[in-house]
Structure 1
Amino acid sequence: MMVNYLVEWIPSTLRNHPELAIFITLAVGYWIGARRFGSFSLGAVTGTLLTGIVVGQLGIDISDQIKSIFFIMFLFAVGFGVGPQFVRGIASDGLPQALFAVVVCCVILAFVAGAAMIAGYGPGLAAGLLAGSQTISASIGIATDAMARTGMSPEQIADQENLIPVAYAITYIFGTVGTGWILAYLGPKLLRVDIAAECARYEREHSIGAPSGGMGSAWHQHEIRAFRIPAGGRVEGMTLAQAEAAAGERLFIEGVRQHNQVVEPTPGLVLKAGDVVAVSGRRQALVALSNMTEEVEDRALIDIPVEAVDVLVTAKSVDGRQLIELAQEPFARGVYLNSVRRGSAGVEVPILAQTKLHRGDIVRITGTATHTARVVEALGYADRPATITNMVLVGLGICVGGLIGSLILPLHGVPITLGTSGGALIAGIILGWYRTVNPRVGNVPESTLWFMNSVGLNVFIAVVGISAGPTFIAGLQQAGFGIFFAGLFATGMPMVLAPLIGKYIFRFDPAINLGCCGGARTSTASGAMVSEVAKSNVPMLGYTVPYAVSNTLLTLWGLAIVLLLNIGSGG
């Protein structure tokens, strides 16, 4: 009796309260998406879509406004995240990689549109084919907006929209797995290179100028010991700055005790016999120093608080400069460089002597509060954990961008428009870049960006799946098994051509070529697979700029594919 009651009550409640259907779809979708099958997982988006299709069998009606709100929030967050790399790629030394991304995106559009036209697909199946074969879920919302302006009847639009998740679900798995396999395993054969050897060669060439102890001795490892200055010793009578310069090694005096009093270690402080100094540097250098002078126990002097700080690089003066060059600057005194992260995906780039720092990078440093404060002032802005989002920035950015995006440009009778969602994407790019110039314009913490990115997209996908649920089986029958082969073609051919385009047209270094290809396909998984095969993260140096450009273009291709299919059909 109770079971029968629940079987009737739960579906009825979900129909009356569709918001609950969305949340159960998210919960189950994220859970399914996180399950691993060997090295493969569906991911939250596909898990949510499939769950939404199942839940949608209950016939739940959800307002389209819900998916529009969350989708526009998602696109703004995407733009905000990729903004710095997008602008750098267009305006500076990333230009070849940006142009490469544009070429690859055009190749992708040509193959997707060609496959759709040959198979006789309408805009719905074509948009799903694009989104699934290229794993660019964001294009679904743009395509949906575009179909509303094609002149089709509301019934035709609804039919086409219901076909999008069908094509997406069928083509997504090879879109993910196939891209990674082609780039990681077939890519080196296409380029005729040993990718591991090429990355090792790249690391050697870009380590020229590094000290014998490696880059860890340029941005020194942090260890502190106390030493007494002997009478007649080499540094007696020198200032603190002179003593550090005379060390012949990156050693730093962090504290000084004179006459049993701890004094401020200013550069002009004169060192005297009997003074006790707290010295930081590499362990090997400190051991060598202990063999030349007396090491003493002075816990109070060496008990100097050390902090780790993430610094958002915004200073124009350091943009494009090499790490080994920056390590020689006075501001680098006494700090250790832990990592350099780049792009909205937080890609870690290798710390090599000739690795360049760019605006928008986040560097993690360790040192005393005095030293880290000096580095923060020189590089940009302390990106300390924050919990408050500047909603004035987010709200106005989305609104103004949406207003501009909603402008319509008639072209041969076809209304061309980015739509409010496309406008929000562009607004996010502009504001994301501007924050690297003026970080005080407002902050959107990483946790908020994650929410807007992941939850924003998946609420949209949940509504798409739930709405398409009742007609999914019929759509599957209409699409036929041929959509799977169309997906193989649309995924595989551009990724076979991309490494060759990078090699013969753009002349990319073999070590970063496949990373550029992964970025141009916005496939973080494939980039990780290439790095695993290469036994190095050097390929990721080519990932971020193409990723930023392609993430924008492939999203906007949702509009392009609908227009191409509509024009091609004489609509």
Structure 2
Amino acid sequence: MEWIINQLRERPELAIFLTLFLGFWIGKFKIGKFSLGTVTSVLLVGVVVGQLNITIGEPIKAVFFLLFLFAVGYKVGPQFFRGLKKDGLPQVAFAALMCVVSLVSAWAFAKLMGYNVGEAAGLLAGSQTISAVIGVASDTINQLSITSAQKASYINSIPVAYAVTYIFGTAGSAWLLASLGPKLLGGIEKVKADCRELEAKMGSSESDEPGFMVAGRPVTFRAYRITNDWFKGGKQVSELEDYLSQQNKRLFVERVRQNGVIREVNPAMLLSLNDEIVLSGRREFVIGEEDWLGPEVLDAQLLDFPAEILPVMVTRRTFAGETVSSIRAQKFMHGVSIRNIKRAGIRIPILAQTVVDAGDMVEIVGTKQEVEAAAKQLGYIDRPTNQTDMIFVGLGILVGGLVGALSIHLGGIPLCLSTSGGALIAGLVFGWLRSKHPTFGGIPEPSLWVLNNVGLNMFIAVVGIAAGPSFVTGLKEVGLSLFVVGALVTAIPLIAGLLMARYLFKFHPALALGCTAGARTTTAALGAIQDAVESETPALGYTVTYAVGNTLLIIWGVIIVLLI
């Protein structure tokens, strides 16, 4: 054991990986629905490892933090700038106000309790579950005109306050929004009814088919033998598809076997009794067609044809601003179904009146030929790849860091975004550029996960290890009172947000819940809300406010240091 400890001291990079291994492992455990989460687990494990007095160089921490911030900005950039348009401005204004309440709450309680700069920043970071504040606030503290010892003391107190307040920050947010939120908006049953009404309004009308909800309803291909007398004398493929469409069933004939021979399908082809056909479409529509068409057949040869799932980035020049219903009505969408839509990495409900934005990733499915043709019309085919455009990433962080390093002096205090704030802004701009010109700057989703999660947790691991020796002392100083203060600073912005959404902005209850969760960047709470109201519609209010909240709450790491 002594040899292992000496190796960790001599090779601190191994201490980081030990912290990551244990932190990610512990973060998976749940007690009921509660878990510490990866970030908090990594931090606490880092604190324990830090008791061994391990010294780690600052550049390691900074590099991974810059990668994380660029990834955050890149992910939300399209939605951040989209929110600045007319239809998104109310949600932007709401998110900005709620973020101001978050900052003022943390600042006011920090002043009231006499917390130092580091404790105040940790209170903001933990209560609002915005881990990036740890790094941004640390950068800002390093620019203050104080001694190195004071800087180290303040910076080491940040993770202490963060760890104490984060637990309620994450679990309390989900509980407040899912349980108390609907009550503040008129009661859980009323909110459920309002969500169902919104689904009906967005999903169906005299000309639109019912809403296309993602969960548990994938597109499928099934084969049937025709036995219905409706086909006596023959019916064209187009007649069958039109008839099914009139029944609000968007189904397509993909293959036909006639007299033992598989034939190519065209709209004018005649279908007769005992023909075997393959239908594609939503699973709940395809299943049960044997009640009308005839019995389902399990025919490997008939079903053996290439089908493709293809992700497409919608661009401004294609169908950005169009509804799902309008897109489905296009001729090139014949035989093609929308499997899911992701916006800023968040799945949104696919309802007939859902508006598709530039930068949205639309996943379509159908036969290879039909999908390829449709994808070219919809936007840029973003085929799965394992290559990240590191020229784009490296340039973005370099430019952002240089811009962030520029400072102005007010009253002798240097004010600047810092390299970390610059990396965040660069990520926003570069992510937006990618949505406009998707032929360059690609970062595959798995790579984005690595930049985001590994970048953040590498940074947090180093923070925990560095703070380890002083963590216990700091915890004794802040005491249990900080947990109570953190709970208040968590709850006040959420309650204020719900009330503002209802009375000031007059948002629909589903959007009010989604906007509040988004402005606080709490994805776990969004899931809890959707379970509570039995609807996915709150996600429609999440993405724009999530982009704004992610940006402002991180920048608040600079502001709270200057305020204190």
TM-score, length-normalised on structure 1?
0.88
Cα drift, residue 501 of structure 1: 0.6
Residue 326 of structure 1 is matched in structure 2 by: 327
Residue 492 of structure 1 is matched in structure 2 by: 491
Q: Would you say 1:203 and 2:199 are equivalent positions?
A: yes
Name the CA distance, whole Å, in 1 between partners of 2:289 and 2:265.
19
Name the CA distance, whole Å, in 1 between partners of 2:242 and 2:34.
53
| Contact 1:219–1:332 (CA under 8 A) maintained in structure 2 | no
Residue 47 of structure 2 is matched in structure 1 by: 53
Structure 1 letter corresponding to 2:197? R
Residue 528 of structure 2 is matched in structure 1 by: 529
Q: Would you say 1:38 and 2:32 are equivalent positions?
A: yes
Cα drift, residue 213 of structure 1: 7.2
Name the CA distance, whole Å, in 2 between partners of 1:169 and 1:552.
22
Name the CA distance, whole Å, in 2 between partners of 1:537 and 1:433.
26
* Closer, same or farther: CA 212–119 of 1 in aligned 2, 3 Å: closer
| Contact 1:100–1:506 (CA under 8 A) maintained in structure 2 | yes
Q: Would you say 1:214 and 2:231 are equivalent positions?
A: no
* Closer, same or farther: CA 159–368 of 1 in aligned 2, 3 Å: same
Name the CA distance, whole Å, in 2 between partners of 1:253 and 1:154.
73
Structure 2 letter corresponding to 1:310? P
Cα drift, residue 307 of structure 1: 1.9
Name the CA distance, whole Å, in 1 between partners of 2:446 and 2:463.
25
Cα drift, residue 132 of structure 1: 0.6
Name the CA distance, whole Å, in 1 between partners of 2:157 and 2:212.
55
- What is the 5 A alignment of 1:559-570? 559-565=558-564
Name the CA distance, whole Å, in 1 between partners of 2:523 and 2:270.
57
Deviates more, 1:475-484 or 1:26-35: 475-484
| Contact 1:166–1:476 (CA under 8 A) maintained in structure 2 | yes
Name the CA distance, whole Å, in 2 between partners of 1:201 and 1:357.
21
| Contact 2:254–2:277 (CA under 8 A) maintained in structure 1 | yes
Cα drift, residue 177 of structure 1: 1.4
Structure 2 letter corresponding to 1:503? R
| Contact 2:359–2:435 (CA under 8 A) maintained in structure 1 | yes
TM-score, length-normalised on structure 2?
0.89
* Closer, same or farther: CA 192–413 of 1 in aligned 2, 3 Å: same
Residue 167 of structure 1 is matched in structure 2 by: 161
Cα drift, residue 425 of structure 1: 0.8
| Contact 2:91–2:544 (CA under 8 A) maintained in structure 1 | yes
| Contact 1:514–1:530 (CA under 8 A) maintained in structure 2 | yes
Structure 2: runs of 5 or more not aligned: none
| Contact 1:216–1:336 (CA under 8 A) maintained in structure 2 | no
The number of residue pairs the alignment matches comes to 549
Residues 253-276 of structure 1 deviation map (CA, whole Å, 9 limit, x = unaligned): 545789998776567xx6579998
* Closer, same or farther: CA 61–295 of 1 in aligned 2, 3 Å: closer
Cα drift, residue 201 of structure 1: 2.1
Residue 16 of structure 2 is matched in structure 1 by: 22
Name the CA distance, whole Å, in 2 between partners of 1:251 and 1:523.
38
* Closer, same or farther: CA 299–231 of 1 in aligned 2, 3 Å: farther
Name the CA distance, whole Å, in 1 between partners of 2:482 and 2:357.
42
* Closer, same or farther: CA 274–458 of 1 in aligned 2, 3 Å: closer
Q: Would you say 1:381 and 2:380 are equivalent positions?
A: yes
CA RMSD across the alignment: 3.1
Name the CA distance, whole Å, in 1 between partners of 2:182 and 2:68.
35
| Contact 1:127–1:164 (CA under 8 A) maintained in structure 2 | yes
- What is the 5 A alignment of 1:170-569? 170-194=164-188, 195-209=191-205, 214-215=210-211, 222-224=221-223, 233=234, 235=236, 250=250, 252-254=252-254, 271=269, 280-281=279-280, 283=286, 290=293, 303-344=304-345, 347-565=346-564
Cα drift, residue 96 of structure 1: 1.2
Cα drift, residue 432 of structure 1: 1.2
Name the CA distance, whole Å, in 2 between partners of 1:33 and 1:336.
37
Cα drift, residue 444 of structure 1: 0.7
Name the CA distance, whole Å, in 1 between partners of 2:557 and 2:45.
23
| Contact 2:74–2:428 (CA under 8 A) maintained in structure 1 | yes
Name the CA distance, whole Å, in 2 between partners of 1:297 and 1:200.
37
Residue 155 of structure 1 is matched in structure 2 by: 149
Name the CA distance, whole Å, in 2 between partners of 1:500 and 1:145.
35
Residues 72-97 of structure 1 deviation map (CA, whole Å, 9 limit, x = unaligned): 01100111111111111122522211
Name the CA distance, whole Å, in 1 between partners of 2:522 and 2:299.
53
| Contact 1:315–1:379 (CA under 8 A) maintained in structure 2 | no
Residue 135 of structure 1 is matched in structure 2 by: 129
| Contact 2:177–2:513 (CA under 8 A) maintained in structure 1 | yes
Deviates more, 1:273-282 or 1:402-411: 273-282
Name the CA distance, whole Å, in 1 between partners of 2:178 and 2:298.
54
Residue 138 of structure 2 is matched in structure 1 by: 144
Residue 78 of structure 2 is matched in structure 1 by: 84
Partner SS, residue 322 of structure 2: coil
Partner SS, residue 341 of structure 1: strand
Structure 2 letter corresponding to 1:463? V
Name the CA distance, whole Å, in 2 between partners of 1:369 and 1:564.
58
Deviates more, 1:102-111 or 1:405-414: 405-414
Residues 269-294 of structure 1 deviation map (CA, whole Å, 9 limit, x = unaligned): x6579998956355479658847xx9
Deviates more, 1:362-371 or 1:42-51: 362-371
Residue 97 of structure 1 is matched in structure 2 by: 91
Cα drift, residue 204 of structure 1: 2.0
Name the CA distance, whole Å, in 2 between partners of 1:424 and 1:273.
61
Residues 203-228 of structure 1 deviation map (CA, whole Å, 9 limit, x = unaligned): 22222327797346999864455779
Partner SS, residue 442 of structure 2: coil
| Contact 1:53–1:466 (CA under 8 A) maintained in structure 2 | yes
| Contact 1:131–1:139 (CA under 8 A) maintained in structure 2 | yes
Name the CA distance, whole Å, in 2 between partners of 1:394 and 1:216.
36
* Closer, same or farther: CA 109–441 of 1 in aligned 2, 3 Å: same
* Closer, same or farther: CA 224–470 of 1 in aligned 2, 3 Å: same
Name the CA distance, whole Å, in 2 between partners of 1:248 and 1:449.
40
- What is the 5 A alignment of 1:120-131? 120-131=114-125
Structure 1: runs of 5 or more not aligned: 1-5, 566-571
Residue 107 of structure 1 is matched in structure 2 by: 101
Name the CA distance, whole Å, in 2 between partners of 1:115 and 1:560.
15
* Closer, same or farther: CA 490–227 of 1 in aligned 2, 3 Å: same
Name the CA distance, whole Å, in 2 between partners of 1:66 and 1:298.
58
Partner SS, residue 558 of structure 1: helix
Name the CA distance, whole Å, in 1 between partners of 2:320 and 2:390.
29
Name the CA distance, whole Å, in 2 between partners of 1:125 and 1:247.
63
Name the CA distance, whole Å, in 1 between partners of 2:333 and 2:445.
26
Name the CA distance, whole Å, in 2 between partners of 1:43 and 1:219.
30
Deviates more, 1:207-216 or 1:554-563: 207-216
| Contact 2:77–2:432 (CA under 8 A) maintained in structure 1 | yes
Name the CA distance, whole Å, in 2 between partners of 1:557 and 1:296.
61
Name the CA distance, whole Å, in 2 between partners of 1:248 and 1:33.
48
Partner SS, residue 334 of structure 1: coil
Residue 568 of structure 1 is matched in structure 2 by: none
